[in-house]
Amino acid sequence: MLKQPVIKEVQLDDIINKFVFIAVILAVVLGAASAQTASTPASSTQTSTTSTAPNGFRAGHILVRFKTTPAQAVLDQLNTAFGAKAVGKIAEIGVTHLQVQPHAALALLNHLRKRSDVEFAEFDSEVKTFLQPDDPYFSTSLASSHYGTVSQWGPQAVSAPSAWNLTLGDSNIAIAIVDTGVDSSHPDLASKIVGQYSYVGNSAKDGFGHGTHCAGIAAAATNNDVGIAGMCPNCGILSVKVLDDQGSGYMSDVASGITYAASHGARVISLSLGGSGRSATLRSALDYAVANNALPVCAMGNSGSSSNTPEPAYWHDCLSVIATDQNGVKASFSNSGVKADVAAPGVAILSTMPTYPVTLTTSYGYHTNYDALSGTSMATPMVAGVAGLVLSKNPSLTPAQVAGIIMASSGDGVSWDPNLATAPFPYRYLQWTCSAIAVRRIWTSMCRTSWSGRAGLSISVGRRRGTVPVSLHGCR
């Protein structure tokens, strides 16, 4: 992980054993899906991971949700007693952002938590990207800055070309990249941008490079004789900037970005970022997203831990993603454990970079236009792109159904491995999934074992247990 303001992910290394790519999803799930019938910015100034507040929290900034909308007199009282000012609001989830002098913050927090009219109050907390710096390119190589000569290998590893025979995606399905912004002038992205918004300053422009890289993985233009191929070639990209030009930010802005994306039509929200807190505000934002038909896909983080899951990946509403390397095993840097749901390629992933100088190019030696990066940050938009393909075939699926189908279709669909979320298929089985015969075999097997008829999908994978209602036609 980058030592400066950014968490970055390590190069490929040895690792634990066993892996699961999401390859089986692309053929099986899309077949399943096709069978079925369809803000106001909070204030922000970004820093890195420590402050004068308790470690990992933002000094002087408190997020509070009153049980009912507070009268102005209540806010005036807090201003008189503590000097607190309302500097923002996440209207969709009823959260007010208060700012106070750092020395008075703890007293204000304790006061709010004791009030009978307050549902919760908490410090704002810090978040960072999960990046590990240290179409011609779909089949030919590029001299990368940190990984030697590379070409795209992730889409092939998850059998994307076979999925593209079923669908290239739908422009009505928007994938939100809630990140550092996106270079909307990039030749592989310009035609894909359906909207941009920023909670950081006055510009939605990517000044760091991370968001542009993630956007390309998820949905770069494909078959256009330019650059790389995106996982969901025809899906739209909604860029919501919540992190600054150093790749750092605050949970209040991330929560605002999530609710903005969900309110503006995103069906998938890619979150390649995280913080160490446990924020009720962020959890409420994720709940809001799911309630508004958007699936959050979240990076598991890069500390190599099996227990230290950052948020938002910590929360149940997220489809949480582990990174794997070219050998199909867990990347050495990737977090894992019971909070993980699925694994995807995340080492030396070639994608778009801003066409102009940004922090990653000027301070860390990465290239403009295209370069390879590593991290759960890169694995996450790959899964987000898969979710976009699934929804393109069947937009009536709910977030829970999409997540359930992806998890149940990964690995063997039944067992679970804490290192990789789901148990692995043999490599040859991954190759089979793209043939019509293999799809039919797997589908028949799923009808007999994993699927509970037309009533629902029985899941016992990781932390998600229960039945996701999915009506499936074609089981015999």
Task: Report how far residue 14's alpha carbon sits from residue 2's, in angstroms, rounded to the nearest whole number.
Answer: 20
Distance from the first to the final alpha carbon of the chain: 49
Please state, as a whole number, how many other Cβ atoms lie within 10 Å of the Cβ of residue 23.
Answer: 28
What are the strands of the beta sheet with 342-345, ordered from one edge?
Answer: 193-198, 236-241, 174-179, 266-271, 295-299, 319-324, 342-345
Identified catalytic residue from 124, 135, 170, 179:
179
Q: Are 79 and 85 in contact (CB under 8 A)?
A: yes
377 counts as catalytic: yes
Residue 37: Cβ-neighbour burial (10 angstroms; 0-12, 13-18, 19+): exposed
Residue 9: Cβ-neighbour burial (10 angstroms; 0-12, 13-18, 19+): buried
The tokens of 14 are what? 């040895």
325 counts as catalytic: no
Q: Give me the DSSP letters along 60-109.
A: EEEEEEESSPPPHHHHHHHHHHH--EEEEEEGGGTEEEEE--HHHHHHHH
Note the Cα 97 to chain centre separation in Å: 24
Q: Report in angstroms the alpha-carbon separations of 416 from 429, 450, 456, 466.
A: 17, 13, 20, 15
The tokens of 297 are what? 């896909």
97 counts as catalytic: no
Q: Strand 295-299 and strand 193-198: pairing?
A: unpaired
- Name residue 405's amino acid: I
Identified catalytic residue from 336, 377, 409, 450:
377
Q: Are 412 and 423 in contact (CB under 8 A)?
A: yes
List the Cα angle 165/168/169 in 5-degree steps: 135
Segment (H or E) for 198: strand 193-198
Over the Cα atoms of the chain, what is R_g?
21
Segment (H or E) for 125: strand 118-129
Q: What is the largest CA-CA distance in the chain?
A: 72
- Name residue 357's amino acid: P
**Exposure class string for 132-171: b at 16+ Cβ within 10 A, else e:** bbbbebbeeebebbbbeebbbbbbbbbbbebbbebbbbbe
Task: Report how far residue 391's alpha carbon sits from residue 409's, in angstroms, rounded to the nearest whole number.
Answer: 15
- Write out the catalytic residue numbers: 179, 210, 377
